[in-house]
Chains A and B, each alone.
Chain A
Amino acid sequence: MPVNPPYDFPMKRRYEELGTNPVSTEPVISAEYFEAERHAVFERSWLMVGRESELPNPGDFFVKRIAPWKSTVVVARGRDGRINAFHDVCPHRGMHVCGREQRGNRKFFTCGSHGWVFGLDGRVVGVSEESWFHTLDKDRLRMPPVAVDSWEGFIFIHRDPAPAESLPEFLGEINIGYGGYFDDIFFKPVGRYEADVKMNYKFYLDSSVEAYHAGYTHLQNNTGQNAKSGTALRLESSATRLYRRHRTIGVPIGVGIRDLAPIEGLAFKHGGAITPYDSRVKDRPLPSGINSNRDENWAFDILEIYPNAILFLSAPLYAVIGLWPSAVDRCRFEVEVYMNEPSNAAERVALEYGLVSLRDVIREDLNIAEGSTDALASGALKEMQLSDQEIAVRHSYSVLNQVMKDRLTR
């Protein structure tokens, strides 16, 4: 049985500036902190809301709740092919024009309150009983716009319609290195899960960028990983990259070998590649940003895009997680899974194995996040302890604390 060598704090030596102190629990339990965070973090960041491929045709749109803005946003492709985004609020007296989350195709949006009509860019194109109004500058009136841009096919929005920082500047180091991976021909949406979780959103971020928990939280649930082999899953220092705001880790397959469970084996036999642990997909070319060490033992990368998106990136599948907090202890959780489309009913069944095993690993992490939020709520515990292997968690709090400090001097 393989045994990890003695530990010599490679992460600390690489990222000395992050220090070794415990971190405060205030950012995960304080309602005042969350309120400040809504403005300093969420209203000043580009937020990932979907993929351009969800809106293939002019008139295609989706409506998305952006809880930390206390807003609902319409994202629509116009007749000119450009994607627009604007708050779902009627400039007349403020009712939602579209209302609840939905998707579809429209020529116009009509407010059900007084019948005002809007174009695909949110501009007013028709006012019912217009002659009743004293003065109405129809050229100026619109559903309030938000900035929209895209990276590798992902749509990002910014609450400031003319943000000081462009999306490429915001993405910084990760703006390059991912080209060609998110191929909308190879990868199709094949699964989606949603949850209303009584958690601080950062607990889910935290569990995503450390592997320490894998052998414990997921003790019974790892698909091909080494939880039962007796050694903890350890991240390579060189596969961890901490950027100005964002961070990525490379997670190894592990060191243990075990027999496949009966249904797991049949899923591999009859399906395409359905989990990152399937060695048949190793030869799929990856861009330089993914498995950047070209590690033979690599299973998947986690890319955390500050402040609320997590990308799970592997050769056969990727998943996009969005965390949409509405309060310090409430968060809407969404994950969309992309894989190669099954070509027959047997592959469809095999795909289900990949989906439900990923789903239940996610549920284990959400359960811990909700339990941790509940456990800390009393304030009895003031600090959290972080090991060297949890350096990316330390980095996340460091970035957040700096942003929160900077807001006071802006």
Chain B
Amino acid sequence: MRGSHMVSAVLPSQFAELTEFVAQWALPSEQARFNQRIHADPANIKHFYDTILPWMDRILVHLRDFPPLDPPAPELNLMRLALSCVEVSRIFEAWGQQDVRADFLDPARFTCVGYEGVKHSLSRKVKP
């Protein structure tokens, strides 16, 4: 299952109502969120977006007090849910379809290194 490598299914207590989404949507990388957005069942995506949208302002107010990389586990899950919301939002707010036009460029040939990927690669050192 796509979300099985999640850290833990726990959110800050005031956001506990969103717990049902953690397994599927608290994903660790932009690539995973992108894959989920283009492959998940559309009704499933719509349910996630419609449910989390009214929470997003409160989520972002809460996240202001935490670091952008490696916040505590509950906030990490919450941030990952918010990042997934951003990923899928353009289906409903811009495109009216699950992806932009990609009838020639196969998404499998496109790699999202993303923010965490860039930070990881900058901190990585190869042993002499």
Contact = CB atoms under 8 A, between A and B. Distances in A.
A221 to B, nearest CB: 6
Contact of B82 (A196, A220, A349, A370): A349
Interface in B86-128: 86-87, 89-90, 93-97, 100-105, 109-115, 117-118, 121-122, 124-128
A363 B64 contact: no
Contact of A106 (B66, B82, B128): B128
A244 B94 CA distance: 39
A356 B90 contact: yes
Interface stretch (A33-41, A232-240, A256-264): A256-264
B65 interface: yes
Contact of B93 (A196, A262, A352, A355): A262
B53 interface: yes
A221 B60 CA distance: 24
A367 B104 contact: yes
B29 to A, nearest CB: 11
**Per DSSP, are chain B's interface residues mostly helix, strand or loop, or mixed?**
helix
A194 B111 contact: yes
Contacts of B82: 349
B83 A103 contact: no
Given A197-B109, A261-B94, A266 B60 contact: yes
A90 B43 CA distance: 56
B66 A344 contact: yes
B105 A345 contact: no
A108 B115 CA distance: 30
Interface stretch (B3-11, B15-23, B67-75): B67-75
Contact of B90 (A269, A347, A360, A374): A360
B126 A344 contact: no
A378 to B, nearest CB: 15
A191 interface: yes
B66 to A, nearest CB: 4
Given A344-B64, A348-B79, A364-B100, A193 B85 contact: no
Given A345-B66, A363-B105, A192 B95 contact: no
B118 to A, nearest CB: 5
A105 B128 contact: yes
Contacts of A262: 53, 56, 89, 93
B83 A270 contact: no
A59 to B, nearest CB: 8
B61 interface: yes
A263 B105 contact: no
Nearest to B87: A356
Interface in A96-151: 102-108
A195 B93 CA distance: 26
Contacts of B103: 367, 371
Nearest to A198: B104
A350 interface: yes
Contacts of B97: 220
Which of B69, B100, B112, B121 has the most CB atoms of chain A within a 10 A radius of its CB? Answer: B100
A356 B86 CA distance: 8
B32 interface: no
Q: Nearest 6 A-B pairs (CB), nearest first? A: A104-B126, A261-B93, A348-B68, A263-B89, A345-B63, A192-B113
